[in-house]
Chains A and B, each alone.
Chain A
Amino acid sequence: MSDIDDKLMSPADAVRRFIENGAQVSLGGFTINRNPMAVACEIARQGVRDLHLVCHSHGQALDLLIGAGCVSRLELAYGGNGRYAPTCIRFRDAVENNKILFEDYSNYQMSLRFLAGALGVSYIPSKSGLGSDVIRLEGFPPGIRKERNVASKKVVVAQNPFSNDDDPVVLLPALTPDVALVHAQYVGDDGTVRITGLSFADIEQAKSADVVIVSCEEIVPRSVIRRDPDANSLPPFLVDAIVHAPHGAHPTACYGFYDYDPGHLNLYRVAAGDDENWRAYLEKWIYGVPSHEAYLEKIGDTVLRALRADPERGYAVGLDRK
């Protein structure tokens, strides 16, 4: 028995229980790193529809969910996967062919919007973006501005109310997603979450959301995770579902555990570039595998072993990344 028995569940149960059609979902991680893939694959597998994704710079989970037809609205700063997809491929297709509604912000703006949600304030000021089209052009049509979880305006440029001098600031609307997806290295059996390496904006995202789903590489005893509390990221009471998913960020990296998978990301790039190949990819890697465990079996031990991180450096030293 542990403190988290009621929160510990499979990806399938977490998605069924917490992610409804039309939900606003924030994606943790960053481009090719610590994407919540085990849960994202399950969202695609269950055929959830009309998600409103909110993220800063994202890659693999973003592209997969768009490509699988799960997304109808998107607020983001960046969609790219480095050399494997300088612009995310299904994201690009969806934007160029009018398949989703989208609104562009910057990384700082999106991160601050999550922070505002976490702080419980309705907006937050910044100097970033003055003079740019990022603040001049709205992406969403006026018709959806009155809906729940859609800001009434993209941004407002206002004068600093504490100064008589000309000092414009950009006011950014807070984000309060229905669900935050986070993939962490460790969760204690008391529910404490520890992200190692960079936390990106995962902690702000989790604190801004109504429901937090954390998948993790390892579940460790309370005595272990509380030995070094300075290193911990979230307390148990903010977390609603815990999913034990080793390699749960594959094919993206998880610092200290494994590197990104160049072989799979190259395979993905080829598949995503063509509608027919893309359907075959979804069939083979998502719909045709019943679970995360079955997915890993299909990837194979040889591949996973080659990606294993050097314990001191945090990545796979000398990995062929071409």
Chain B
Amino acid sequence: MTGYTDTEMMALAAGRLIKDGDIVFAGTGVSMLAATTAKRIYAPGAVFFFETGGIDPDLRELPMTVGDPRVMSGTSINTGLIDALSLLGHRKLRTIALLGTAQIDRYGNLNTTSLGDYHRPATRFPGSGGACDAASCASGVISFVKHEKRRFVEKLDYLTSVGWYRGGDSRRRLGLPRGGPIAVVTNLGVMKFDDPTKEMYLACRYPGVPVETILENTGFPVDVSRAVETEPPSAEELKILRDEVDPQRLILQ
């Protein structure tokens, strides 16, 4: 793998999943990069919105977080948290949420709260923010995580955001009739979820990444038999990402 970085491939792989007409909720970090990239390259007709209340900003400059004044600029409407978060689960809308995470399990449940004991954690992360809400209410979730064994775990230290819960129809039985994870974008490939088990499988691997590397870096068994190799980033995609989306390298590494 030469000529592009892990973060660049992740932003492009996620951006490629977004289509014109999608209504996309983006969180902080790589999610923001994927959203801004999708708006420029793949889905200029998609609508992006943020939990803080900015609906459809022009994204002329990359917002660093969902609290950045750049999510309030050139919008169709500026609202607040309750308005924005209620749109996530609105019955008329098909919404997709982009969420980063520190840990993930085979059913796409996410941990962004802490490692170790909740009350006296070894490592404290920022917490849910709007992630628990997006995971509960959106029509689908695309998450981002670095592909490492300590992050792809059998059991989360803390379940911040519900994915397919314990697999099968357990999510629906919790009282969440819609939504659930669609894809997990990592620095090695893209994982999706099987029906009806809702277990994670490898849908595609990035150019030059052997399936063995993915198996070695996943802390639970995962089906790799259907994996296809992704298209590498084109020169044009990389140029837009580097020169237009994140020229200051605020999120790109």
Contacts and interface: CB of A to CB of B under 8 A. Distances in A.
Interface of A: 29-33, 56-57, 59, 76-83, 86-88, 91-92, 95-96, 98, 104-109, 111-112, 115, 127-134, 136-137, 139, 166-169, 197-204, 253, 255, 259-260, 309, 313-315, 317-318, 320-322
B210 interface: no
Interface in B28-66: 28-29, 51-54, 60-61, 64-66
Secondary structure class of chain A's binding surface, majority of residues: loop
Given A106-B133, A129-B132, A132-B162, A33 B127 contact: no
B124 A95 contact: yes
Nearest to B58: A313
A13 B42 CA distance: 54
Contacts of A31: 65-67
A313 B113 CA distance: 34
B69 A255 contact: yes
Interface string B157-178: 0111110010000010011100
Contacts of B135: 132
Contact of B130 (A87, A107, A198, A318): A107
Given A131-B165, A198-B52, A83 B82 contact: no
Nearest to B162: A131
Contact of A255 (B61, B72, B248): B72
Contacts, number: 205
A132 B159 contact: yes
A137 B80 contact: no
Interface of B: 28-29, 51-54, 60-61, 64-74, 78-82, 85-86, 89, 113-114, 118-133, 135-137, 158-162, 165, 171, 174-176, 248-251
Contact of A201 (B82, B137, B162): B82
Contact of A83 (B60, B64, B70, B175): B64
Given A82-B68, A111-B85, A201 B132 contact: no
Contacts of A134: 113, 128, 132, 160
A201 to B, nearest CB: 5
Contacts of A322: 248-250
B253 to A, nearest CB: 11
Contacts of A139: 118-119
Secondary structure class of chain B's binding surface, majority of residues: loop
A78 B126 contact: yes
Contacts of A128: 85, 132-133, 136-137
Nearest to B128: A106
A57 B67 contact: yes
A318 B60 CA distance: 10
Contacts of B80: 111, 198-204
B28 A105 contact: no
Given A106-B128, A108-B81, A322-B249, A314 B175 contact: no
Contact of A314 (B72, B121, B122): B72
Contacts of B68: 32-33, 82, 253, 260, 315
18 contacts: A57-B51, A80-B129, A104-B127, A107-B85, A107-B130, A107-B133, A128-B136, A129-B162, A134-B160, A137-B118, A139-B118, A199-B78, A200-B80, A253-B68, A255-B69, A314-B72, A321-B250, A322-B248
Given A87-B125, A95-B124, A259-B69, A130 B82 contact: no
